[in-house]
Amino acid sequence: MAQLSIVSGSVGLITLQNPPVNALSAAVRQGIVDTVEKALSDPKVKSVVIRGQNGVFCGGADIKEFGTKMTGPHLIPMIHAIEAGNKPMVAAIEGSALGGGLELALGCHYRVAHSKARLGLPEVTLGLLPAAAGSQRLPRLIGVPAALNLITTGRHVTAAEALQLGIVDQVTDHDTVDTAVKFALNVAGQSLDARRISTFPCPRPAELDALFEDAMQKVRKSARGAIAPVACVQAVRAAATLPYAEGLERERELMATLFNSGQARALQYCFFAQRAVGRWSTPSGARWDTSKPVPVPKAAVIGLGTMGRGIAVALAQTGLSVVAVETQEKQMMEAKQAVSGMLERGAKRRGVAPVSDKISYSGNIRAVADVDLVIEAVFEDMAVKEKLFQQLSAICKPGALLCTNTSALDVDHLASQTRNPELVVGMHFFAPAHVMKLLEVVYGRRSSTQAVATAMQLGKKMGKVSVAVGNCRGFVGNRMLKPYIEQAFYLLEEGATPELVDRALEEFGFSMGVFRMSDLSGLDVGWRVRKGDGLVEPGLASGPSARVRQGRRYSPLGDLLCEQGRFGQKTGRGWYQYEKPGGRVARSDPWLHSFLEGYRARHGLVARRIDHEEVLERCLYALINEGFHILEDGIAAGPEDIDVIYVFGYGWPRHRGGPMFYAGMVGLAKVLERLEHYHQAHPDVPHLQPCSLLRRLVASGSPPIHKWREVIRKLHSHL
Ligand code: 3H9
């Protein structure tokens, strides 16, 4: 797990060996302790280089060990032994030095990094803090403000930034280990008194209290209830105000509160869930490891509205040649300007040249004749898309993949409009498409394994978290959103206000409550869909039938607002009011409150007091219940897929792990009991009727989430 060899006559080379990222498992820690001891006691060794196998220095503590009984040497004394040693230790950093990996490097006396290496203390993203003295050494090395920034955000820095900050001593474009060995030869025999970071005084900024108050306010605001960022600030404060040993003790205490917290478990679950969705499979037998994607050097985007523009930018930034097609001249002109602005801003952010030359524009659909893949992002209307797919099927070269960016429409139906339905898949992007990380790749009944693999691969190349999902109305994300929004409407009818519902959801951790979100995305979007579904009946009809459609409870509230032209931010009025059309700051609207009172009076509804708990239970459990239906139907392969979709695409707070993980944390039996309770109170709301998979899981003793797939598999094999 760690090996010592002697190179260049006098340099002890310690190699960490725990692929793929040389995580610091018990065996690796033991290996380091043993090899360091050997190197320090071997008179032939004058200096030491520590490196990781296979071009990765170290990805940190072994996250898989968390939650199990920890064995082996502890990290802190192991790193102290390295720092206290009387021979220079040089970390040779290639690939990543993250978390405990960087803490190990900070225990070394010198650090040499390859120019492509990335360094950071991302523990906060796992609900932890850098508790192998990272929170105490880093501020001593680079100062409090820079350390606060790195530790509270968990961001990775490039080698160039690490050099500028003073984290590393040298950056090389050549062989890192060779460079580090030369470095080690040069420093052999030199005094190490000024190289042990734990002995450095921590630089004390002038306005210490103000600095930490400001940092605390900032993290509290952005953390949305997450506790780790707050603990990170406290740990850095300890570094700035206490002697090293006392600071270390404070770091230990803070870590103890985080380590077994539900938030840490949720965030670590998210880490593995994000990777698990990459190992996708479909019921037809397509799999991530056996299905071969086809290369896609050239792609086309059709329709340059908001979505199309974002998709074109995302593709171009990935290095593809893009043909962008828009038939309306005015839209084309606006799109060209918007796209070039997006590309310029993106290039500036990433410190590269804009890739405007990657995109060519055309008003003629025939321009897509030679591309390898088309993504259509035209108006969300089945008739329009049907016609387009018929055209594409005739125009595109043989083998070209045809993808739809629909957010809900039937992918199988669109595939049936083409000569090669096996080449059709859904690629559901989220707005803005060049920024949002989530991509739902929707396989149809006839999609080929190659088509799914190609779309998944393209998503990965674009830096998206791609999740393969089955075809049904709304796929996974939007299908679950429907009962969630529906409950929010019913709560208004029963006495809540948009402010109350949103506050409950935002305190839970959503970046935006359901009504503020609806104002942002536009009320007219859902109105159009409901109209298409024959649900909208114009006017202010009263009587019981006004709130019933197709035998179920229905709330026409959203339709009534749209009839008044209240489409949300774009019109300056929606569930809230805004200073002007396009305004961003939501203010309570007295008109809306009296409208709700009038509505209730007209329908004989008596407003009652609704508390946050009911808002959360009704909205979230209805959404979770739909998640169980999705698992039961085989639309998502496992709970991780649903959770990743909600965390990356729908603002679900990551420190709560995603809706299905949250259900497990609350207790499946409790979720079932509350759904039964609410369904009894609202028998005309089918979404509140508990799903049979949920009942089955509770009946089988509420197994932990990683065992749900077994229950689902059994369920499917019985069918
Ligand atoms: C810590 O250090 C705490 C200390 O401060 C104090 C303790 C007292 N452990 O991401 P990839 C697995 S907390 C175990 O696909 P990439 C990963 O699950 C730690 N396993 O590769 C995957 O497995 P699988 C702080 C780990 O090249 C495989 O390795 N460190 C760990 O795209 C490949 O991973 C971090 O937060 C780990 N630490 O990216 C860094 N890391 O194949 C976490 C990875 O079965 N790691 N695995 O799915 C990363 O950010 C990325 O993995 C990294 C490589 C950038 C290193």
Q: Please tell me the residue having the least CA distance from ligand 1 atom 9.
A: 62
pLDDT of residue 533: 85
Give the confidence band of 718 by pLDDT, cuts at 50, 70, 90. Answer: low
**Residue 251 annotated as catalytic:** no
Share of the chain above pLDDT 90, in %: 90
Give the confidence band of 350 by pLDDT, cuts at 50, 70, 90. Answer: confident
Mean pLDDT of 197-223: 93
| Cα–ligand 1 centroid distance for 505 (angstroms) | 31
Ligand 1 binding pocket includes 341 (Cβ within 6 Å): no
Indicate if the pLDDT at residue 579 is higher than 90: yes
**Could you give the CA distance from residue 606 to residue 119 in angstroms, rounded to a whole number?**
59
Mean pLDDT of 186-201: 96
**Could you give the CA distance from residue 676 to residue 277 in angstroms, rounded to a whole number?**
31
| Cα–ligand 1 centroid distance for 218 (angstroms) | 27
pLDDT of residue 717: 75
Mean pLDDT of 69-84: 95
- Choosing from 18, 24, 63, 137 the residue with most ligand 1 atoms within 8 A of its CB, the one to mutate for a pocket test is 63
| Cα–ligand 1 centroid distance for 442 (angstroms) | 28
Ligand 1 binding pocket includes 127 (Cβ within 6 Å): no
Give the confidence band of 534 by pLDDT, cuts at 50, 70, 90. Answer: confident
On average, the pLDDT of the chain sits at 95
Mean pLDDT of 650-676: 97
**Residue 537 annotated as catalytic:** no
pLDDT in tens, 221-255: 988 899 999 999 999 999 999 999 999 999 999 99
Indicate if the pLDDT at residue 314 is higher than 90: yes
pLDDT of residue 78: 98
Give the confidence band of 714 by pLDDT, cuts at 50, 70, 90. Answer: confident
* Chain centroid offset of residue 355 CA: 26
Of the listed ranges 325-329, 346-350, 515-519, the one predicted with least confidence: 346-350
Indicate if the pLDDT at residue 131 is higher than 80: yes
Q: State the complex-level ipTM.
A: 0.99
| Cα–ligand 1 centroid distance for 4 (angstroms) | 24
Q: Please tell me the residue having the least CA distance from ligand 1 atom 50.
A: 59
Ligand 1 binding pocket includes 74 (Cβ within 6 Å): no
Residue-wise over 574-605: b if at least 16 C-beta within 10 A, else e? bbbbbeeeeeeebeebeebeebbeebbeebeb
Question: What is the fold, at CATH topology level, of the domain defined by 298-475?
Answer: Rossmann fold (3.40.50)
Indicate if the pLDDT at residue 719 is higher than 60: no
| Cα–ligand 1 centroid distance for 63 (angstroms) | 7
Burial label for 45, CB within 10 Å (0-12, 13-18, 19+), is buried
pLDDT of residue 532: 83
| Cα–ligand 1 centroid distance for 103 (angstroms) | 15
- Judge whether 310 and 303 are in contact, CB under 8 Å: no
pLDDT of residue 541: 66
Mean pLDDT of 275-282: 94
CATH class held by domain 2-259: alpha beta
pLDDT in tens, 372-425: 999 999 988 899 999 999 999 999 999 999 999 998 899 999 999 999 999 999
Ligand 1 binding pocket includes 58 (Cβ within 6 Å): no
Question: What is the fold, at CATH topology level, of the domain defined by 613-717?
Answer: N-(1-d-carboxylethyl)-l-norvaline Dehydrogenase; domain 2 (1.10.1040)
| Given the residues 37, 83, 94, 123, the one annotated as active site | 123
Give the confidence band of 536 by pLDDT, cuts at 50, 70, 90. Answer: confident
Ligand 1 binding pocket includes 123 (Cβ within 6 Å): yes
The ranges of the chain annotated as CATH 1.10.1040.10 are 496-602, 613-717
Assign domain 496-602 to its CATH architecture: Orthogonal Bundle (1.10)
pLDDT of residue 529: 84
pTM, two decimals, is 0.95
For the chain, how are helix, strand and coil distributed in percent, rounded to 5?
55, 15, 35
Residues sharing a CB contact under 8 Å with residue 665, sequence separation 6 or more, in sequence order:
262, 265, 266, 656, 657
Ligand 1 binding pocket includes 560 (Cβ within 6 Å): no
Ligand 1: which atom is nearest the Cα of residue 278? 48
